[in-house]
């Protein structure tokens, strides 16, 4: 099938690459010529494991094209995926200007029946707005009643995890499709069925529903996952107070099949491009409809405060004034296997350390370039703080003479360091672990002063007493 993907961000690029991988002829459009140049030269504008390889295969087979030519993109695809960004507006609502502009471009040049698929995360009612924009453009062309210029709007939200997006697309647990129950909708349903047939070989994964329910499903799913994270962080903070171990608690409640283990890890809060803005957008939608979503308001508040917890542990140990102290920071991206710095907890942690006078040496396996760009903007008004932030090319480079190690992102390479070497490099054997990578008792036996999230404080064994351990 001939497919057009509008937007080559995480969602658009993964969608286009995976659809080309299974044999479709895919045209990827982006209005950013820099991004298209990168792709046409064999580069990647994002870090996503496995994506470069499948794009290379499809390019070699002539199944994928990258271009800024809007008219050519509309002419190419019988199915047009809108996969552009929907950043949060000032009031927290989703900014739909890019979605509606994509729809407008389709209406300006389309010829023949088109299926327009909203792949971007959009609030309930967006399909109706997309339909109105396209109809308006067709009316301007005098084609409002043309039988050859019919179209159907489909909602097909993505459920891709950054860092595992390719696998999520190729082996989906569900494919949600919202489609109208009319003649055009029936045609669209059949085209979508054919498109996703390769992903339903073993069993049917596609869930058909009305368009508004499909739009709502995406927001509800992300809101639920964000709620689980904030719930566990609330429990972790209470565990700190009452002396419980949140990891033991996690295993205890996760073993209940009604609860499960997914998204029950305590830490320094969620970030990225989805959870923060989707929770905000859903809260805003509720407000517009006269409904106060009190649980989600609490989820957002808890997450905001959770990004301060690690810094409070640091200042509780070393004092509020961190002038003259140096911190090694491991992990900058909001999660492993991505270079995404949007709403990353590291931004808040590092900003707080710098504001208190500290020097920071930071390392991330893939996000350093993006982190440099982001922090240049974040710290533009405080050049003195910017001068105290340094980026290392290896995790080991961050350690020499540092007063403490701060772990913010749970990259695999951080899980089993050489602790003997680590102790010898640090000025003091002090770790603040925002992802609970290590066992407190093991750290105590190694002589490391270890602070984590919702777990017993591990005092170095050579300085501890029986009273400390009770």
Which tens digit of pLDDT belongs to each residue from 32-69?
Answer: 999 999 999 999 999 999 999 999 999 999 999 999 99
Name the stretches of the chain with pLDDT < 50.
463-470
Report the distance separating Cα 17 and Cα 8, nearest Å: 10
Residue 32 has a pLDDT of 95
CATH architecture of the domain with range 2-209: 3-Layer(aba) Sandwich (3.40)
Cβ atoms 411, 331 nearer than 8 A: yes
Q: Name the CATH superfamily, with its identifier, for domain 307-463.
A: NAD(P)-binding Rossmann-like Domain (3.40.50.720)
Cβ atoms 195, 166 nearer than 8 A: no
Residue 349 has a pLDDT of 98
Per the annotation, binding residues for substrate are 159-162, 218, 263-267, 271, 335
236: its two tokens: 């972790």
2-209 against 307-463: fold identical: yes
Which tens digit of pLDDT belongs to each residue from 279-331?
Answer: 999 999 999 999 999 999 999 999 999 999 999 999 999 999 999 999 999 99
Cβ atoms 283, 92 nearer than 8 A: yes
Residue 462 has a pLDDT of 63
* CATH fold for domain 219-305: 1.10.1040
Residue 444 has a pLDDT of 95
The CA-atom distances, in angstroms, between 245 and each of 254, 333, 415 are 14, 26, 19
249: its two tokens: 């608690």
274 is an active site residue: yes
3-state SS track over the chain: CEEEEECCCHHHHHHHHHHHHCCCEEEEECCCHHHHHHHHCCCCCCCCCCHHHHHHHHHHCCCEEEECCHHHHHHHCCEEEECCCCCECCCCCECCHHHHHHHHHHHHHCCCCEEEEECCCCCCCHHHHHHHHHHHHHHHCCCCCCHHHCEEEEECCCCCCCCCHHHHHHCCCCEEEECCCCHHHHHHHHHHHHHHHHHHCCCCCEEEECHHHHHHHHHHHHHHHHHHHHHHHHHHHHHHHHCCCHHHHHHHHHCCCCCCCCCCCCCCCCCCCCHHHHHHHHHHHHHHCCCCCHHHHHHHHHHHHHCCHHHHHHHHHHCCCCCCCEEEEECCCCCCCCCCCCCCHHHHHHHHHHHCCCEEEEECCCCHHHHHHHHHHHCCCCHHHHHCEEECCCCHHHCCCCCEEEECCCCHHHCCCCHHHHHHHCCCCEEEECCCCCCHHHHHHCCCEEECCCCCCECCHHHCCCCCCC
Report the distance separating Cα 274 and Cα 384, nearest Å: 32
Per the annotation, binding residues are 30, 35, 86, 121, 159-162, 218, 263-267, 271, 277, 335, 342
Q: For the chain, which residues make up each domain, given as ranges?
A: 2-209, 219-305, 307-463
Per the annotation, binding residues for NAD(+) are 30, 35, 86, 121, 162, 277, 342
Cβ atoms 355, 388 nearer than 8 A: no
Q: Which of 274, 379, 392, 404 is catalytic?
A: 274
Report the distance separating Cα 4 and Cα 117, nearest Å: 10
């Amino acid at each position: 099938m001939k497919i057009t993907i509008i937007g080559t961000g995480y969602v658009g690029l993964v969608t286009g690459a995976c659809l080309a991988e299974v044999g479709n002829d895919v045209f990827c459009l982006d209005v950013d010529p820099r991004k298209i140049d990168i792709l046409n030269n064999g580069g990647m504008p994002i870090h996503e494991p496995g994506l470069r390889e499948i794009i290379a295969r499809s390019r070699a087979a002539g199944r994928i094209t990258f271009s800024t030519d809007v008219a050519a993109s509309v002419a190419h695809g019988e199915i047009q995926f809108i996969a552009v960004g929907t950043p949060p507006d000032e009031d927290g609502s989703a900014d739909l200007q890019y979605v509606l502009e994509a729809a407008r471009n389709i209406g300006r040049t389309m010829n023949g029946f088109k299926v327009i698929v909203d792949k971007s995360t959009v609030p309930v009612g967006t399909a109706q707005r997309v339909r109105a924009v396209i109809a308006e453009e067709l009316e301007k062309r005098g084609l409002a009643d043309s039988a050859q210029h019919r179209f159907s709007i489909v909602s097909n939200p993505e459920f891709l995890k950054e860092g595992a997006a390719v696998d999520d697309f190729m082996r989906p647990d569900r494919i949600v499709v919202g489609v109208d129950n009319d003649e055009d909708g029936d045609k669209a349903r059949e085209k979508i069925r054919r498109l996703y047939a390769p992903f339903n070989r073993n069993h049917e994964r596609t869930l058909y529903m009305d368009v508004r329910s499909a739009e709502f499903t995406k927001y509800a799913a992300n809101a639920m996952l964000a709620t689980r994270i904030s719930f566990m962080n609330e429990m972790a903070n209470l565990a700190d107070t009452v002396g419980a171990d949140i990891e033991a608690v996690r295993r205890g409640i996760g073993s209940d099949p009604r609860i499960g283990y997914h998204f029950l890890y305590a830490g320094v809060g969620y970030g990225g491009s989805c959870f923060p803005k989707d929770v905000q957008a859903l809260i805003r939608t509720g407000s517009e409809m006269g409904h106060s979503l009190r649980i989600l308001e609490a989820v957002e508040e808890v997450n905001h405060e959770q990004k301060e917890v690690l810094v409070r542990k640091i200042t509780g140990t070393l004092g509020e004034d961190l002038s003259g102290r140096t911190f090694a920071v491991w992990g900058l991206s909001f999660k492993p296997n991505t270079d995404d710095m949007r709403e990353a907890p590291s931004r808040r942690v590092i900003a707080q350390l710098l504001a208190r006078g500290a020097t920071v040496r930071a390392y991330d396996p893939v996000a350093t370039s993006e982190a440099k760009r982001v922090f240049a903007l974040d710290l533009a008004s405080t050049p003195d703080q910017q001068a105290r932030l340094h980026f290392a090319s290896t995790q080991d480079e961050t350690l020499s003479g540092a007063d403490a190690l701060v772990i913010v992102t749970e990259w695999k390479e951080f899980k089993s360091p050489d602790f003997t070497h680590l102790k010898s490099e640090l000025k003091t054997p002090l770790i603040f672990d925002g992802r609970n990578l290590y066992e407190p008792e093991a750290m105590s036996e190694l002589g490391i002063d270890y602070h984590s999230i919702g777990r017993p404080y591990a005092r170095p064994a050579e300085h501890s007493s029986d009273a400390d351990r009770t």
